[in-house]
Amino acid sequence: MYSFMGGIKLIKKLIIFAFAMCILSSCSNINGFDQSKGTLKNNADVIDIHGSVSNLFKMDDFVKKVNEKENVSIRISHYTIEGDPIYQNIKYSDGKFELQYDTTQDKFGAGKVTTYSCENFEKTETNTEMKYTLIGCSSDVKNIDVLYLSYDVSKQDLFQFQLKYGDNQANEINTIDMKFVKNLKSGQIISVNDFQLSNEERQKIYKKMVLSNFLSEKKFATCTEKPDFYLKVKINNAVREYNWSDCTSNEDDKLMTDLANTIIKIVNSNQFYVMSNTKMMSKEQALDLGKKLDLDSADKAKWSATLVEKKEYDINNQKEKHTVWVVEAIYPLGNKMIVDFDAYSGNQIIMAEMEANN
């Protein structure tokens, strides 16, 4: 007799085993099911193929609506190593959760739909794993993980990548060839030939890649003459390469652009890469950057620039310290423009415009 508890344990083992085999075999067959028979074509909101999860954002949408006490449902499918889908239909209504566990398409399962009630639903996230769990269920298993993702980079034999971005893809973050290139607004070019990420940075980037489902096939739109980004990833013996642009109308483009921007932010937040390989901007260079922001009225204003070391900023709810040039323009009517530029990269951190005091 096929019990629900046995089914949950079996599926978890199948998923973990299949994902491990996928990594060991270079993930060359991650989409290798017979799509001609419609195996992968289902109406699930979230699809988990051996740890490669599509539409993960819908899980967070579900959690948000539950927290807002809004009646909502979601359908999750997991694939066995034979390519059969197992469905979990979760319904939240009037403060109660209902789970339908559907194995009707699993050739080696019980072939039936079983319904259970649960008391709560929660998402837990660490640096190396994430899971969505139904709590206090009326089954033999009281707490059921309906979706589990692992992104522990230390468990991978090899994880390297190359990201090119910017005008003509001239900027490069490359752990394959240990190379870092960045064109600064100040006109300088940073080039590091022994570039390495810290373990913490590698973990953050690998986590973002897994949550972005980077191993799946992508369908990119064409909205620019040349692609804005190029990404090459080596994971164990597998290699993935992507070229795409920041096309806001396409979900895959948006997802991969968000991934690229996260990688760039993680690397740029380490001031060592910038400060140890470039000179600080001069006062004149900082003033020139400020004047470029107001070409029409630059000659009418009184300009000044003050160097401030380790000035603290709240950026995306995180505290960051930057050595900056604070550039100030005072116009004839008394109104002001104040801009803070990173003293090494020339990046604009913040700008404020103030009206004259009457």
Q: Average pLDDT, stretch 182-194?
A: 75
**pLDDT for the residue numbered 272:** 61
Residues 290, 293, 299: CA angle, nearest 5 degrees: 75
Q: How far apart are CA 243 and CA 257, in angstroms?
A: 11
Summarised one tens digit per residue, pLDDT across range 248-263 is 778 888 999 999 999 9
Taking a C-beta distance cutoff of 8 angstroms, is the pair 161, 242 a contact? Answer: no
pLDDT score at 147: 95
Statement: residue 194 has pLDDT above 60? yes
pLDDT tens digits along 126-179: 999 999 999 999 988 899 999 999 999 999 999 999 999 988 899 999 999 999
Six-digit token pair at 236?
């164990």
Say how far apart CA 252 and CA 214 lie, in whole Å.
Answer: 10
The DSSP call for residue 112 is S
Sign of the Cα pseudo-torsion (222, 224, 229, 231, in order): positive
For position 209, what pLDDT does the model report?
A: 95
Tokens, residue 285: 């260079």
Res 273: pLDDT: 60
pLDDT tens digits along 325-343: 999 999 999 999 999 998 8
Quick: pLDDT tens for 195-218.
889 999 999 999 999 999 988 888
When pLDDT is cut at 50, 70 and 90, the band that residue 294 belongs to is confident
305-315: average pLDDT: 89
Q: Tell me the two tokens of residue 226.
A: 């040349």
Domains of the chain: 4-150 (no CATH), 154-275 (3.30.1560), 283-354 (3.10.450)
**pLDDT digit string (tens) for 222-245?**
888 889 999 999 999 889 999 999
Instruction: Measure the CA angle with vertex 300, ends 294 and 303; round to 5°.
Output: 75
Res 12: pLDDT: 43
Specify the pLDDT at position 275.
55
Amino acid (1-letter code) at residue 68: E
Beta partners for residue 182, in sequence order: 190
Contact 153, 202 (CB under 8 A): yes
In this prediction, residues 337-357 reach a mean pLDDT of 89
Q: What average pLDDT is seen over the chain?
A: 84
Angle between the N-to-C axes of helices 199-211 and 251-268, in degrees from 0 to 180, rounded to the nearest 10: 170
Q: Is pLDDT above 50 for 66?
A: yes
Query: What was the pLDDT predicted at 57?
Result: 92
H-helix segments, 130-270: 199-211, 251-268
- Among 125, 222, 212, smallest CA distance to 161 is for 212
The pLDDT tens digits of the residues spanning 10-53 come to: 344 444 434 443 433 333 333 333 333 334 456 889 999 888 89
239 CA to centre of own chain: 19
Is 276's pLDDT higher than 80?
A: no
Question: 315 vs 89, which has greater pLDDT?
Answer: 89
Cα 323 from Cα 343, distance rounded (Å) = 6
pLDDT of residue 83: 87
Q: What's the gap between Cα 214 and its chain centre?
A: 10
